[in-house]
Amino acid sequence: MLKIENLHASIGEKEILKGINLTVNPGEVHAIMGPNGSGKSTLASVLAGREDYEVTSGSVTYRDMDLLELSPEERAREGVFLAFQYPIEIPGVTTINFLKTAINEIRKHRGEEALDAVSFLKRMKEKSKLVEIDQSLLSRSLNEGFSGGEKKRNEIFQMAMLEPRLAILDETDSGLDIDALRIVANGVNLLKTPNNATIVVTHYQRLLDYIVPDFVHVLWNGKIIKSGTKELALELEEKGYDWVKAEAALV
Amino acid sequence: MKTNPQLEDLKLSLLAQIQSVSKEKSTIFLEEADQLHFPNSKNEEWKYSSFSVSKDTNYTLRTGQGKAMASIHAEAFEGCHLLVFLDGAFTESLSSTEVLKGLTIKKINHLETFTSAYENNIFNQLNGSTAHLSGLSIQVNEKAIIEKPIVIFHCNSYTESAAWVQPRIQVQVGERAEVTFAEIWQSDGAQPVVTNAVQEIDVKKSAIVKWFSLEKGNKDSSLINQTRVETAEKAVFQHLVVSLGEGFIRNNLEIKINSTEADAHMYGLSIGSAKLHVDHHTFINHKAVNTTSNQLYKSIFSGKATGVFNGKILVDQVAQKTNAYQSSKNILLSTDAKVYAKPQLEIFADDVKCSHGATIGQLDEEPIFYLRSRGLDEATAKQMLVQAFASEILMKVENKSLHALFEAEIMAEMERLVSK
Ligand SMILES: Nc1ncnc2c1ncn2[C@@H]1O[C@H](COP(=O)(O)OP(=O)(O)O)[C@@H](O)[C@H]1O
């Protein structure tokens, strides 16, 4: 589904991603871990199409397309979804309001008919239950006055509504208490199918108690320096990152 | 003061025309006007707004007597009472006055005017000199609750030459009365028109008054409004103005909060995609303890549109526990669009909460990216954000009929904005 090869990306003069290689297949959950500042959010942003970053070399192939050639909205319509690390507030734009437009843009792109109001509301009801988000929040200005947990749940709610093929969760766990974490993780797990894939970017292992990854990668200094299975996450939790860095330095 | 010869000629011509229609009634105003000049950019209050008129054009003073027009679509004001100013004068035959219970409406015959911070101002004196010919006085009775908004529709029928019109409205709202007014300004652009208007609104104790204004200009129109308001104890006054289209618009809004526990709210929304020039000069004087004023002026400009916001807040020494907020937020979608924003705070009391701020910039990139990442294309995302920006003001137009009217005009202007 996704194949990242030797990806380099910079912001201004500064190179942040220094040769990322990663392959994600349908049905898989990948966790990307690493110390602060290693480039995790940058990777997520580059995949979603944020224009602040310049890709200097390498390629990203997504479902046989050159992902880097697509605009952010084309990526979304092809099924890429980014749950933001810091979901912004947009005064005057309600979640319902832009999601309705978004869903229908995506459906149009796929040659499907627009969702009528009744089906939209039905889907909304169903999905808001899934992530335990109060429906009244959805007709308020996006994230305005929302708590940290509500903002993150709103991201997962949008993901549930848009049914992406590839979901990228950027530090969705940061700032969440254990209840909110469980709700968010539960939402992600319920949305898992053999046809979609998830990349979970996280700083801590605790989210991975709830969302069990098939693969764990350690990103450091713009490169993936170690990959493994869920046991690697536990080992990192116990021993920190220094041993991985030391190992990488030897190679 | 050096004056523009064309404007000096215009002044002389207007004075002569006024003299010939109004006889001795306007002597004081005329004498004062004679001593004054039209402002130029050297005048601090007119630094960014130069008042000018079309070249080689004679302006005919109109004080009514226009022919009734087919173009008054009363159905646009369904759910409202309608008062019509045709060619600058209140025209009873086009208005629906019979159903107005709780109000007295009459022509102005004796003018007692509020003092103004812009006293020394030729527009003021010129307008005063014809108030007895074109003005309207409205008295809202004590405790009267006027359910339907009162639309004051300004239109022009004179096509023989450029016109100069001077509507004047005096309103007194009695104790505990509630009323909503909406001035709708329309100029069809057949000939240049200068509208030199004055509104004086006296809000008595515990009365609630909402005053809306929908200003739609064209490239040959100039609209100068001087709105003076005084409010009594526990009164609530809200002023909301939407300025669209093209041309020159200058709004001087002065509010004196004379007594305790009174609130004043002022809102503005300007949208222009061509040569629109909108200048809001607000002046709020807190003269008693425990009063609040709140100002929010927004603009969205592209093309060569220009905005000026000059907001002055004066808190008298006695006016302890004043809350005064002021904010100007502007989105510029083109490099030729401009906004000048200037707060002026003069605070003589020590226990005061006061804030002011101005933002001027393009649409933020972050929300655009957010919406695009959900599948909206860039144009749709921008349109949604611009609408959201405007909706904060539109939301304050709560009356259904007025909301529909304002919304339709704002949306139409917005379409011109993004299609450019
Ligand atoms: N907009 C930016 N301008 C300059 N440097 C940036 C910017 N964004 C990120 N960086 C730098 O890139 C590096 C990687 O950041 P980031 O991708 O946020 O890491 P992580 O998500 O792993 O904490 C950091 O050193 C950070 O300071």
Interval B110-134 mean pLDDT: 83
| pLDDT-derived band at B223, boundaries 50, 70, 90 | very high
Name chain A contacts of B389, Cβ cutoff 8 Å: 92
**8 Å CB contact between B194 and B224:** yes
Q: Which residue is closest in CA terms to ligand 1's atom 5?
A: A11
Contact B388 A101 (CB under 8 A): no
| pLDDT-derived band at A195, boundaries 50, 70, 90 | very high
Give the residue among A158, A203, A152 at the shortest CA–CA distance from A181: A152
Question: Is the model's pLDDT at A130 over the cut of 70?
Answer: yes
Taking the C-alpha atoms of residue A173 and residue A183, their distance in angstroms, rounded to an integer, is 11
Inter-axis angle of helices A117-130 and A95-109, nearest 10: 110
Give pLDDT tens digits for B295-318.
Answer: 999 999 999 999 999 999 999 999
Q: Ligand 1: does its nearest atom lie under 6 Å from the Cβ of A11?
A: yes
**B→A interface, C-beta within 8 Å:** 366-367, 369-378, 380, 384-385, 387-389, 391-392
B174 in a structural domain: yes
Overall domain count for chain A: 1
Give pLDDT tens digits for B370-390.
Answer: 999 999 999 999 999 999 999
Give the residue among B254, B269, B303, B314 at the shortest CA–CA distance from B407: B269
A217 CA distance to ligand 1 middle (Å): 18
Task: Supply the range of the domain harboring residue B188.
Answer: 60-232
B97 in a structural domain: yes
Give pLDDT tens digits for A109-125.
Answer: 999 999 999 999 999 99
B307 in a structural domain: no
**8 Å CB contact between A38 and A248:** no
B110 in a structural domain: yes
**8 Å CB contact between B281 and B295:** no
Question: Is the model's pLDDT at B183 over the cut of 70?
Answer: yes
Please state which of the ranges A165-169, B52-56, B169-173 shows the lowest mean pLDDT.
B52-56
> Which of A51, A78, A93, A97 should be substituted to probe chain B, the one whose Cβ sees the most B Cβ atoms within 10 Å?
A93
Question: Is the model's pLDDT at A236 over the cut of 70?
Answer: yes
Overall domain count for chain B: 1
Taking the C-alpha atoms of residue B202 and residue A227, their distance in angstroms, rounded to an integer, is 76
* A44 contact B CB<8A: no
Burial class (CB within 10 angstroms; exposed 0-12, middle 13-18, buried 19+) of A43: buried
pLDDT given at position B71? 55
B209 in a structural domain: yes
pLDDT given at position B40? 84
Name chain A contacts of B373, Cβ cutoff 8 Å: 48-49, 72-73, 75-76, 81-82
C-alpha triplet A37, A39, A41: angle, nearest 5° = 100
- Which of A48, A91, A109 is nearest residue B373 as measured by Cβ atoms? A48
Phi, psi (deg, nearest 5) at residue A249: -65, -30
SS3 B115: coil
**8 Å CB contact between A157 and A133:** yes
Atom of ligand 1 nearest to the CA of A39: 17
**8 Å CB contact between A44 and B341:** no
B238 in a structural domain: no
Residue A20, C-beta contacts closer than 8 angstroms, at least 6 positions apart: A4, A6, A7, A43, A58, A219, A222, A223, A224
Give pLDDT tens digits for B11-60.
Answer: 999 999 999 888 766 678 888 899 999 998 888 889 999 898 888 889 99
ipTM: 0.96
Instruction: Give the mean pLDDT of chain B.
Output: 91
Residue A129, C-beta contacts closer than 8 angstroms, at least 6 positions apart: none
pLDDT given at position B222? 95
Task: Supply the range of the domain harboring residue A80.
Answer: 2-250
Percent of chain B with pLDDT over 90: 71
Q: Ligand 1: does its nearest atom lie under 6 Å from the Cβ of A36?
A: yes
C-alpha triplet A88, A50, B379: angle, nearest 5° = 75
Positive or negative: CA dihedral B313, B294, B307, B135? negative
| β-sheet bridge partners, residue A2 | A24, A62
Give pLDDT tens digits for B58-83.
Answer: 999 998 876 665 556 667 788 899 99
The separation between CA B381 and the C-alpha centre of its own chain, rounded to angstroms, equals 31
B313 in a structural domain: no
Taking the C-alpha atoms of residue B150 and residue B154, their distance in angstroms, rounded to an integer, is 13
pTM equals 0.87
CATH of the domain at A177: 3.40.50.300
| pLDDT-derived band at A138, boundaries 50, 70, 90 | very high
Q: Which residue of B lies nearest to A97 if distances are taken between CA atoms? A: B384
Give the residue among B87, B124, B107 at the shortest CA–CA distance from B252: B124
C-beta atoms surrounding A45 within 10 Å: 23
Atom of ligand 1 nearest to the CA of A42: 17
pLDDT given at position B418? 72
Distances in Å between the alpha carbon of B370 and those of A42, A99, A120, A194, B395? 15, 12, 21, 28, 24
Question: Is the model's pLDDT at A164 over the cut of 60?
Answer: yes
Contact B373 A106 (CB under 8 A): no
* A48 contact B CB<8A: yes
One-letter amino acid identity for A205? Q
Please state which of the ranges A82-91, A172-181, A231-240 shows the lowest mean pLDDT.
A172-181
Question: Is the model's pLDDT at B1 over the cut of 60?
Answer: no
Taking the C-alpha atoms of residue A136 and residue A128, their distance in angstroms, rounded to an integer, is 10
Question: Is the model's pLDDT at A92 over the cut of 80?
Answer: yes
Give pLDDT tens digits for B272-296.
Answer: 998 999 999 999 999 999 999 999 9
SS3 B325: strand
Q: How many angstroms away from the CA of B298 is the closest CA of chain A?
A: 14
B79 in a structural domain: yes
Q: Which residue is closest in CA terms to ligand 1's atom 1?
A: A11
Long-range contacts of A187-194 (CB under 8 A, 24+ apart): A187/A130, A187/A131, A187/A153, A187/A156, A187/A157, A187/A159, A187/A160, A188/A156, A188/A159, A190/A130, A191/A130, A191/A159, A191/A160, A191/A163, A191/A167, A192/A27, A192/A29, A193/A27, A194/A26, A194/A27
